[in-house]
Structure 1
Amino acid sequence: MSSDSTTGGSRVRQLIARVGFPHLLATTLALVAATILLGVAAKATGSGLACEANWPQCDAGPYNLFPANLPSFYEWFHRFVAMFAGFAIIGSAVAAWRNPGVDARVATLVVLGMVLTPIQVVLGRETVLQYEMTILSLHFWTAVLIFVLFVVATVLVWRSALTRRHVTGALVLGTAALPLHVALSPLVLTDITDYSPSVQMAQYGVTLALLAAVIVAVMVGRWRLEDDRLVGLLVGAAGLALVVVFLGRRAVMTLNPALDYLYLLLSAILFVTFVVGIRLTRGASSRTPKAGSR
């Protein structure tokens, strides 16, 4: 029994050595993001109730395993990619847990992502069987939480390769993403026909980019910047970005004028914060990593 366990652990370590755990984690992150965007596409095209409201089956082929039409294809393909994302999440968690060379914080984050995965699967099932707004929201935010966990874990794994320039680059990405986030929202696209599935996918893609940007800026800023006030500005920007993303989602769903105005105001403040952050980080002093730091 002990020999089998040792052999299994050795095989896991050999697999990680060949593929590279950082690359495995980055691939998992990409699959999680793709699953979220395909879920948005399924919702935007009204395909959530396709596949004749079957789950996990669809509405064509042997045992109803395949889609019968285009709406069903959106839902089926979302599930198909989600399946591989789930396997990648589990594989990343097992690899992190079994490999002593992986940072304990990274292992904790990816294991938590694995724990949330079956909850997300159940919520996905309920979106098909019930299709209620509360369930849809829980399904979306759970997916975003898993995405955030893997972004943080990925940044931790790549820590030694990240510098002050990556802080500036992340802020540039946030500065570019934020106006697109607003421009692609129903607040600007007042004609509902313009708010097409492709536009919605683009907006949520920008949302994920915005979240990733502020996470990278804060984490790398804390490691590489000497100015604590500048780091505090980055932390404030991250908090503000979370509120903007939440309000953007609520504004889309409720079309509440009060939320619309607050969303626009906070987006403008966040944009200015990004611009100031870019200017300050470009001339900021870099902190030399301590010997042996990871």
Structure 2
Amino acid sequence: MSTDSHTSRPVLRPLIERFGFPHLIATTLVVVAATILLGIAAKATGSGLACEANWPQCDAGPFNLFPANLPSFYEWFHRFVAMFAGFAIIGSAIASVRLPNVDRRVAALVVAGMLLTPVQVALGRETVTQYTMDILSLHFWTAVLIFVLFTVATVLVWAPQLTATHVTTALSFGAIMLPFHVALSPLVIGDITTYSPSMQMAQYGVTLGLLGSAIVAAMVGRRRFDSTRLTALLSAATALAVAVIFLGRRAVMTFNPALDSLYVAVAALLFVAFVASIALVRNAPSR
């Protein structure tokens, strides 16, 4: 009597094998960005202290797990998406460590993001139980740091497919987003209409796009071009983008005329850096 000697394979392959690590980390980045924007929506609508200031519970349904009204829904939905973002971050970190073909730099960045996640969760709890501006700022900047870590890791993973064209596209996107960032700030929009929750979400969406475009341009530009001048200018643009985001947020929170002027000046410098970089990309020797 003969037996079949071949090794059987499972019908359902592991998710990471079917989906691919590059797509996993890109999806995680998108979910992280969505979580940040939903957090902005909760703050802008005054929903941060909804759910009767319960955490992680809310204020309706079995065991108070569900929202009772619209403000509570904003806070509840932010937490709901944040939970999936946490799972995605942990899954990406585990995959980056276990998969043999993942760059160790990527693994280090993703693991750092995972280690920051419980800190971010704790800060999220504190925004509900204490709600001070210092805690709120720490919660925001920790989220931005996680976003930056995953943006850099995603660019490293996708680097072989990114070309000089992507550098120009990222710079052009940043140059387009920058005027919107200024226009949507209270400095400009306040003279036209109120700085509404939808305006705040739009500005912070532009904020993430602006920061992401600067990072992509700098990293891919360094990889694809042999030009010290261009590399230095792209690095300067990234630093200016961070400064614009920081000053823009401070201007929103403090309404300081001096900060407003500095914010506009740095934004103008960043726009010049974007345009100058586009011009240099056209003539820089590529690898």
Question: TM-score, length-normalised on structure 2?
Answer: 0.94
| Other structure's SS at 1:111 match | helix
Matched residue, 1:272: 272
1:26/1:280 CA distance change after superposition, 3 Å = same
Matched residue, 1:225: 225
1:102-144, CA deviations, whole angstroms, 9 ceiling, x for partnerless residues?
Answer: 1100000000000000000000000000110000000000000
1:12-57, CA deviations, whole angstroms, 9 ceiling, x for partnerless residues?
Answer: x943221100000011000000000000000000000000000000
Does residue 130 of the first structure (1) align with residue 130 of the second (2)? yes
| Other structure's SS at 1:194 match | coil
Matched residue, 2:65: 65
Output aligned runs, 1:69-218, within 5 Å: 69-190=69-190, 194-218=194-218
| Other structure's SS at 1:226 match | coil
Displacement of 1:280 after TM fit? 1.5
Q: Distance in 1 between matches of 2:113 and 2:32?
A: 10
Matched residue, 1:28: 28
The residue type paired with residue 240 of structure 1 is L
Matched residue, 2:7: none
Displacement of 1:85 after TM fit? 0.2
Structure 1 residue ranges, 4+ long, deviating more than 4 angstroms after superposition: none
Matched residue, 1:259: 259
1:109, 1:150 within 8 Å by CA — same for their partners in 2? yes
Displacement of 1:191 after TM fit? 5.0
The residue type paired with residue 194 of structure 2 is D
Output aligned runs, 1:4-19, within 5 Å: 14-19=14-19
Matched residue, 2:5: none
The residue type paired with residue 60 of structure 2 is A
Q: Distance in 2 between matches of 1:112 and 1:190?
A: 38
1:186, 1:192 within 8 Å by CA — same for their partners in 2? no
Q: Distance in 1 between matches of 2:35 and 2:14?
A: 28
1:174, 1:213 within 8 Å by CA — same for their partners in 2? yes
Matched residue, 1:6: none
Q: Distance in 2 between matches of 1:193 and 1:65?
A: 37
1:223-270, CA deviations, whole angstroms, 9 ceiling, x for partnerless residues?
Answer: 001111111111111111111110001000001111100000110111
5+ residue gaps, structure 2: 1-9
Q: Distance in 1 between matches of 2:256 and 2:118?
A: 33
Matched residue, 2:246: 246
Q: Distance in 1 between matches of 2:258 and 2:23?
A: 43
Matched residue, 1:291: none
1:179-202, CA deviations, whole angstroms, 9 ceiling, x for partnerless residues?
Answer: 000000000022596211111000
5+ residue gaps, structure 1: 1-9, 288-294
Q: Distance in 2 between matches of 1:33 and 1:51?
A: 23
Displacement of 1:282 after TM fit? 2.4
Q: Distance in 2 between matches of 1:210 and 1:104?
A: 27
| Other structure's SS at 2:186 match | coil
Q: Distance in 2 between matches of 1:190 and 1:89?
A: 37
The residue type paired with residue 75 of structure 1 is E
Matched residue, 2:236: 236
Q: Distance in 2 between matches of 1:176 and 1:39?
A: 25
How many residues are aligned here? 276
The residue type paired with residue 187 of structure 1 is L
Displacement of 1:283 after TM fit? 2.9
